[in-house]
Amino acid sequence: MGTRKIILQEAGGLSYQHEKYHVPIIHTDIRTSNILLDRELQQKIANFGLIRLLPEDMTHLSTKFSGTLNSGYVAPEYAIYGQLFEKVDTYSFGVVVLEIISGKRYKDVDYQLVTQNLLDHARDLHESGAHLNLMDEKLDPSEYAVEHVVEIIKIALMCTQPPSTRPTTSEVEWEGLIELMGTESRAIGGLEFLHKG
């Protein structure tokens, strides 16, 4: 239950930041090193040094990018154009989920192509239908049904799509992960990406 719990809590934490305050809180630096775990594997989102508050009357901010451009966690629209909105954190969440499932860092270079990163590798495996080749061998096989691993990888990849097709973290949390974890879902409407083949 540990890995699934961490993924679900991360989606819930981001959803809370984005939607439960009078203005959305955008973290801008979601990465595995900023997810802290206690003894019970309760996750805490850390390092709020780069957060931005999105004013109520705005859907996004145009701002100067601050962070490490080549880290792999940064959404392209933020890194290139300075466009900052909640889905920037969703992109980073997708990369974090791929790292958790694979047990690899974004820039590990033991893939077939030296220039390939984890996201490109995951996309290649998705396109060839070899999703399970991404799964960390150290993960407890009794923790996941095969179809759940595939769906979690698909959700992570959807989180790294262009902003127009990228889900919000609340959509990921309620429609995707809670359903996959076997917990009762508080559905707000179907998400097509969960059912694509």
**Predicted confidence (pLDDT) per residue in 160-170, tens digit:** 999 998 988 88
d(CA 67, CA 79): 8
Structure tokens at 119: 């996201």
pLDDT of amino acid 160: 93
Count of structural domains, the chain: 1
Q: Among candidates 136, 131, 157, 147, which has minimal Cα distance to 181?
A: 147
pLDDT tens per residue across span 83-117: 778 888 899 999 999 998 898 887 765 555 555 78
Task: Tell me whether residue 129 is in a domain.
Answer: yes
Residue 159 — very low, low, confident or very high, per pLDDT cuts 50/70/90? very high
Task: Tell me whether residue 127 is in a domain.
Answer: yes
Task: Tell me whether residue 197 is in a domain.
Answer: no
Compute the mean pLDDT over every residue in the chain, rounded to the nearest whole number: 72
Task: Tell me whether residue 87 is in a domain.
Answer: yes
Question: Containing domain of residue 112, as a range?
Answer: 2-192
125: phi then psi, degrees, rounded to nearest 5: -65, -40
pLDDT tens per residue across span 133-152: 998 888 777 767 777 788 88
Mean pLDDT of 25-43: 77
Residue 189 — very low, low, confident or very high, per pLDDT cuts 50/70/90? very low
pLDDT of amino acid 184: 35
- Of all residues in the chain, the percent with pLDDT exceeding 70 is 67
Helix (H/G/I), strand (E/B), else coil: 74: coil
Q: What share of the chain is helix, strand, coil (3-state, %, to 5)?
A: 50, 5, 45
Task: Tell me whether residue 61 is in a domain.
Answer: yes
d(CA 154, CA 67): 27
First to last CA, the chain: 26
Task: Tell me whether residue 33 is in a domain.
Answer: yes
Please name the residue that has the structure tokens 């508050």: 53
Q: At what angle do helices 146-159 and 118-128 cross, to 10 degrees?
A: 130
Task: Tell me whether residue 15 is in a domain.
Answer: yes
pTM > 0.85: yes or no: no
- State yes or no: is 29 an active-site residue: yes
Structure tokens at 2: 């540990």
Task: Tell me whether residue 168 is in a domain.
Answer: yes
Residue 79: which CATH number?
Answer: 1.10.510.10
